[in-house]
Amino acid sequence: MSGRLIAQILVSVGTVVGRAFVAAYKQAAANAAQGGGAAGRAGTKASAADALTRKTGLTMDEACQILNVTREAELAEVAKHYDHLFKVNDSSAGGSFYLQSKVVRAKERFELERAEQLKEKAEAEAPKNDQQQPPPNGSA
């Protein structure tokens, strides 16, 4: 009798956890599909962002939402929000480890994206050596 009750409780707990897992998985799969398509169309820039998304498990939009910042936010502001969220989500403050690790991932994602942007900017501004060359058929 009580064994049956316990079994029922275990089954319903399993169902709730299972549903949450399936929802999270579907969301991740949808993100992956989206990111892959965009990367295929837009080339290396998108694939760099895509690689960061795979690495951290978060898109830039998700990272910004979690940290409550815009894409253009200063790193100092991001760090401030991160510190706050990390603290209030600490398990000693009644927070959840899951959310806390999302906060950590979000900061990582943001910083990697910013580093990538700076790298691209530096490359775009680097002097080009081929600009002074005459056209191939200039002698005609």
Ligand X SMILES: *[C@@H]1O[C@H](CO)[C@@H](O)[C@H](O)[C@H]1NC(C)=O
Residue 129 has which token pair?
Answer: 């050596």
Closest contact distance (angstroms) between CB of 95 and ligand X is 6
R_g of the chain computed on alpha carbons: 23
Which residues in 40-79 contact ligand X (CB under 6 A)? 66, 68
Close Cβ partners of 6 (under 8 Å, ≥ 6 residues apart): none
Q: Should residue 88 be labelled a site residue for ligand X when binding is judged by CB under 6 A?
A: yes
- Nearer to ligand X by Cβ, of 46 and 104: the residue is 104
- Between 95 and 114, how does the x/- string for binding to ligand X read (CB under 6 A)? x---x--xx-----------
Distance CA(76)–CA(66), nearest Å, equals 16
CB atoms within 10 A of CB 8: 10
Which residues make up the interface to ligand X (CB under 6 A)? 66, 68, 85, 88-89, 95, 99, 102-103
